[in-house]
Chain A
Amino acid sequence: MEYTYYPGCSLTKTSKPYDLSTRAVFKALGLGLHELEDWNCCGATVYMSVKETVSFSISARNLALAEKLKRDVVAPCSACYLVLNKTNRFLRELPELNAKVNDALSAAGLYYGGTVRVRHPLEVLVNDLGIDAIAKKARRSLEGLKIAEYYGCQIVRPQRGFDDMEFPQTMDQLFEALGAENVYYPLKVRCCGGMLMTTANDVAMKLCHDLIACAQGNGADCIVTTCPLCQMNLAAYQDQLSAKFGEDMHMPILWFTELLGLALGLDAKTVGLNAHLEQIPEKILSLAA
């Protein structure tokens, strides 16, 4: 199976390990990922709050480019996944917006007919390949590893996608099949604060504290997530969180593709574990040994 890959800005730099591990996992599972040539920023959450028609248009440029290739688009970043899907849906449902956006696209000789499917790698792996098929290809068992699956908000909202909007289960089922133990983690889709870490630091620190404290309290060895920003917020400020709340807030925060990669027999460097900002304990690194 072949897919068009839309990495998004975060995966080129700040979330490089997510990019490395996504490519490596797809390769290991025999799925083809072809990066969309000359893609631009999806517009993310920020652009939507500035100029609506403009943000739909820049997002649609990517869809128009991808449409020519006639493959499903795989977007690992939650914000890209949300924004591209939102653009798709609004363009399909609102003929007037569609006309405006296509008018804007025509300035660059592009047209978008609305046929591209934008999908998340988690959903692609679980639905196109299947959990059983993935488990059969596993070279290492995750037995003994306790994990808290954290989906973040933008992968399941605002419209119903491939999983429940309040208590998604896709990742839980995947890692259970690979031998891991899922701890009870009711904050699966609670917000990490997103860009508030920069603009309203106190608020985001409180949200991140709650997310880590809940995982620790329920005995998790690590948090596994699907979002670049969630990983960044939870991983990069652990020293500050510990100082602010007077608790030890250190905990490994992995992208789901990293842990899946380890289970598939890839080594730590291939999945990007050497480029983490937080300490990765022996318990996880030894999985790769």
Chain B
Amino acid sequence: MAHLETPGTLPARESELRRAFLSQVDIVPGGERLRKCIQCGTCTGSCPVSYAMDLSPREVIARFRAGDIETILRSRTIWICASCYACTVRCPVEIRITDLLYALKRVAMGKNIRPRQFPVYALSEAFVRSVKWFGRNYEMGLLAEFFLRSFKWINLLKMAPLGLKMLKTGRLGLFPDRIAGHADLKKIIARAEEIEQPREPVPVRTVTDEVGYKAIQS
């Protein structure tokens, strides 16, 4: 991972974000292929939701290279990806773009960068808690928490007719299902969380010579 060089000397904040991102890239299998990007734009062209993004997937990688992770973390892009993997399967240099966007989401959440207008993180966090508590997804609680936390109460009301229809057809449970082995699952999660902490900070290598083609060579 140390080959993912940084152009020039970065401000302290940007350095910190870069270090956080690189340590996340480190746990994405094949994440280092990021440096192979040829900026062809196949990812952006293949993305069904790129029209609604403020930074296209191609620009995300360009911004990373330019040493501007902060802009990426504050973009709508990382939250709008729907995980369809169209970019990943078409990338001519096999960059796992979807997984890298996941890594960026993890950094944004870790650094408390949360777009209020676009609270996907609220859904993710509610989901994670649901799995931790019950071992399964508790849709009713998940959606209620999401709409409450995102201050979109009006949407909760708009969803009511659909919710009723689903209750009537037996497709929405009022109460969560808890698995028998949920104590075991909690132990597994606790141990995995312990392991996930990166043992040592990932060094950020700096290129101090002219920023250009050399900076993106491995």
Q: Which residues of A contact B (CB under 8 A)?
A: 9-10, 12-16, 38-41, 43-54, 56-58, 61, 90, 93-94, 97, 100-101, 103-110, 153-154, 157-158, 165, 189-191, 193-196, 198-204, 207, 236-237, 274-277
Contacts and interface: CB of A to CB of B under 8 A. Distances in A.
Contact of B196 (A51, A61, A157, A158): A51
Interface in B70-125: 79-80, 82-86, 88-89, 96, 98-99, 101-103, 105-106, 109, 118-120, 123-125
Q: Which of B82, B89, B182, B193 has the most CB atoms of chain A within a 10 A radius of its CB?
A: B82
A57 B127 CA distance: 16
27 contacts: A9-B136, A16-B171, A38-B180, A40-B135, A45-B83, A46-B123, A49-B101, A50-B105, A50-B124, A51-B106, A52-B102, A53-B192, A53-B195, A103-B195, A104-B188, A107-B190, A194-B82, A195-B82, A199-B79, A199-B119, A199-B146, A200-B118, A200-B120, A204-B82, A236-B162, A275-B169, A276-B169
Contacts of A52: 24, 27-28, 102-103, 106, 196
Contacts of A100: 192, 195-196
Given A49-B105, A100-B192, A157-B89, A200 B80 contact: yes
Given A108-B188, A153-B85, A203-B49, A12 B136 contact: yes
Given A9-B137, A46-B128, 10 more contacts: A40-B179, A47-B127, A50-B106, A50-B109, A51-B192, A90-B29, A104-B191, A107-B187, A189-B86, A274-B169
Interface residues of B, number: 66
Interface of B: 24, 27-29, 48-49, 52, 79-80, 82-86, 88-89, 96, 98-99, 101-103, 105-106, 109, 118-120, 123-125, 127-128, 130-131, 135-137, 139, 143, 146, 155, 162, 165-166, 169-173, 177, 179-182, 184-185, 187-193, 195-196
Nearest to A277: B165
Given A54-B196, A276-B169, A39 B137 contact: no
Nearest to B197: A53
Contacts of A165: 89
- Lowest 5 A-B CB distances belong to which pairs? A108-B184, A191-B84, A153-B84, A104-B192, A9-B137
A198 B84 contact: no
B181 A38 contact: yes
Given A52-B196, A153-B85, A14 B189 contact: no
